[in-house]
Amino acid sequence: MSSGGVARVYRGAFAHSTRDSALRVLTDFVLGVNEQGKIIFFEDGQNVESLSHQWGFETSDIEWLEPHEFFMPGMVDTHIHAPQYAYSGTHLDLPLLDWLNIYTFPVESRYEDLDFATDVYTKVVKRTLCNGTTTACYFATIHTDASLLLGQIADDFGQRALIGKVCMDCNSMVPNYKEQTEECKDETDRFIHELLKKKYALVKPVVTPRFAISCSSSLLSNLGKIAKNNDLHIQSHISENKEEVQFVKELFPDCTSYTDVYVKHGLLTNKTVMAHGCYLTDEELMIFHEKGAAVSHCPNSNISLISGLLNARNVLNHKVKLGLGTDVAGGYSPSMLDAIRRAVDTSKALCIQDAELQPLSYKEAFRLATLGGSEVLSLDDCTGNFEVGKDFDALRVNICVPGSPIDLFPGDDPEVILEKFLNLGDDRNIVEVYVAGKQVVPFS
């Protein structure tokens, strides 16, 4: 390539979401990426001559996509528990609170062992990247050093990530898996300081109270202050199952709702993402909208743990930022394609119960997994679609790879090909993954 700062130029089919459109499939477009991994042009293929003059590249430099290939934005997993990957695909026979006590906390308490942590964290980062997750918002465990290790591994493999050291000072069921309030605050400060000191380009800390049940009021207040003073993201859980909602009501009798607990402790901001929200009331959703806080919809987990069915349409109608999460391992699949499918299925199940409801279309679910997720994590200024100036976070999808789970037929246009991939495709079809312009899959 020439000295014009152009590193790569692609021409072919692209699919992405915009502010105004859930899905735009562009059959012949040309996209340029500079040395810094940013998109410098994205235009109709017929403009290629003028673009080559303007940017100083040869038309022979262009990489053409095959007719059965397309680029789409990398997917954003807005809620995933990295340590739980060790038992994903198992242990789905209990409701949430029993599931945490019997399966989750005993496994998470093993992460003091850094060899164990290295093994699991390497596997989860590689697996999610292969499945097209270019950005992940991770819960780790209460262990600072293992949580820092997850940050290092995400950086090593080039994944964009928010990493949360889990905070919990109340855990009567598994008493050895918690911290003292003061220790938790100090370790959270240390975690944030150490992670920021590494100056990783794409990996940042996120303040992570596990949920209201496992945190004292004093710890929640401290975490609210830490987030504010460092201008950090916040992640937690809210209104996942009925038993939990009731328990929170008993623990915080002076709060009007589960949402109010987080509001009173300074934890509901425009950089907050709350997982689940199955039982949020319209009043609570109005507060989410006012605060600019976001919901991560985790449909696989909500069904697997028999927690509830989130009415995603109602969340969107309240103009609350909404994205999708795998919620490994309550959700058994680490693939965001699974999250897309189950989000649509959940909305259809709700329509069976209430004929007035409008189901989510596959186009809307595509948006939630890409641009919607970047909005949820307040990263939509740099990722989520193919707007000029954003980082090139992208998946190259090939429908005709050997062993592909998808068959094509004459007349299948790029939009049909995309819909087939979203419903039938898997990691075999994701032949290249780029984060900030750097090819991260296949692994070098």
At 199, is the secondary structure helix, strand, or coil? Answer: coil
Q: How many whole angstroms separate alpha carbon 155 and alpha carbon 7?
A: 22
Q: What is the pLDDT of residues 191-225, one digit of tens each?
A: 999 999 999 999 999 999 999 999 999 999 999 99
Across the range 322-345, mean pLDDT stands at 98
Could you tell me the residue range of the domain that residue 23 belongs to? 6-73+386-441
Assess whether 304 and 359 both reside in one domain: yes
Assess whether 330 and 416 both reside in one domain: no
Assess whether 195 and 154 both reside in one domain: yes
* pTM passes above 0.85: yes
Q: 295 and 288 in contact (C-beta within 8 Å)?
A: yes
* Structural domain total, the chain: 2
Residue that is last in its domain, among 358, 377, 396: 377
Q: How far is CA 364 from the centre of its chain?
A: 16
Q: Which of 86, 320, 100 is nearest to 210 (CA)?
A: 100
Q: Which residues pair with 80 in a beta bridge?
A: 138
Q: 80 and 139 in contact (C-beta within 8 Å)?
A: yes
Assess whether 171 and 44 both reside in one domain: no
User: Does residue 1 belong to any structural domain of this protein?
Assistant: no
Share of the chain above pLDDT 90, in %: 98
Tell me how far CA of residue 310 lies from CA of 256, 275, 296, 391, in angstroms: 21, 11, 10, 31
Residue that is last in its domain, among 332, 350, 377: 377
Q: What is the pLDDT of residues 406-432, one digit of tens each?
A: 999 999 999 999 999 999 999 999 999
- The CATH number of the domain holding residue 395 is 2.30.40.10
Assess whether 323 and 340 both reside in one domain: yes
pLDDT of 110 > 50? The answer is yes
Q: 230 and 197 in contact (C-beta within 8 Å)?
A: no
- The CATH number of the domain holding residue 344 is 3.20.20.140
The verdict on whether omega for the bond into residue 140 sits within 30 degrees of 0, i.e. cis, is no
At 254, is the secondary structure helix, strand, or coil? Answer: coil
User: Does residue 293 belong to any structural domain of this protein?
Assistant: yes
Residue that is last in its domain, among 334, 354, 377: 377
Assess whether 69 and 90 both reside in one domain: no
Assess whether 152 and 131 both reside in one domain: yes
Tell me how far CA of residue 355 lies from CA of 161, 316, 317, 347, 352, in angstroms: 39, 18, 17, 11, 6
Q: Which residues pair with 38 in a beta bridge?
A: 391
Assess whether 121 and 217 both reside in one domain: yes
pLDDT of 1 > 90? The answer is no
